[in-house]
Amino acid sequence: MRRLELVALALTAISGCSLRGSPAFPTRTGEPETSARPPGVAVDRAQHLPPADTSSPAERGLAVLTAPHGLAEAEHSLRAFFDAVIAESPAELDAVLDARAWLKSDAASPRQRARSFWRSRFARLDYSELTRQTIYHERDVEIYRAEELSVLGAERRIDVQPLPGDIVMRVPISAGRDRSERLFGETMVLLLRYDEGRFRIVEIQEDFRLP
């Protein structure tokens, strides 16, 4: 009799479980699932960069440096300068000569504005006859960046004051040496500075005086 009572109790328990449904597990039937989120990441405030420069001392810290412009660009300006001289074109010359460019003819003479001096040369001398002559040989042109001038010896010293990024050229002149009326000095020193997309001449040194 006792065994029958136990069996009846077991059947009653099973029947009660089936009525209540499957057991609930908090991990499956708790709060509704939310989309996965990445772990929190600290966001630094945008940092304002300093203006770009060609050089910067180490103690300044963060710096933005610009790559130096190629020497080929300076050589292009050199060719454009002499093309303008041969064409006797003030407009073409002004395109490569800085508006404030200086010219110094010798140590004893005061410097003067290069644009006005070249206009005087065009008025008094005939440069168009050099059209078929070689004014200079590219292989003979000495080209220096600003930081390289300090290593030149006294016999090769160039008396200019370049800024970082400037180019200095020493150009031996080949044309017109056999003429009685000189058109150039024997050597021309040019200081070029990058401005508005091209190198422009800001200073000329040439041992030359108008007749």
Q: How many domains does the chain have?
A: 1
**pLDDT for 134-151, tens place per residue?**
999 999 999 999 999 888
CATH at residue 187: 3.10.450.50
Note every long-range contact of 141-145, with CB atoms under 8 Å and residues 24 or more positions apart, other chains counting. Answer: 141/75, 141/78, 141/169, 141/170, 141/171, 141/172, 142/169, 142/170, 143/71, 143/74, 143/75, 143/167, 143/168, 143/169, 144/168, 144/169, 144/170, 145/68
User: Does any domain span residue 17?
Assistant: no
Print the domain residue range for 101.
71-206
User: Does any domain span residue 143?
Assistant: yes
pTM (whole model) above 0.85:
no
**pLDDT for 13-53, tens place per residue?**
555 544 455 555 555 555 555 555 556 555 555 556 666 55
User: Does any domain span residue 149?
Assistant: yes
Alpha carbons within 13 A on the beta-carbon side of 196: 7
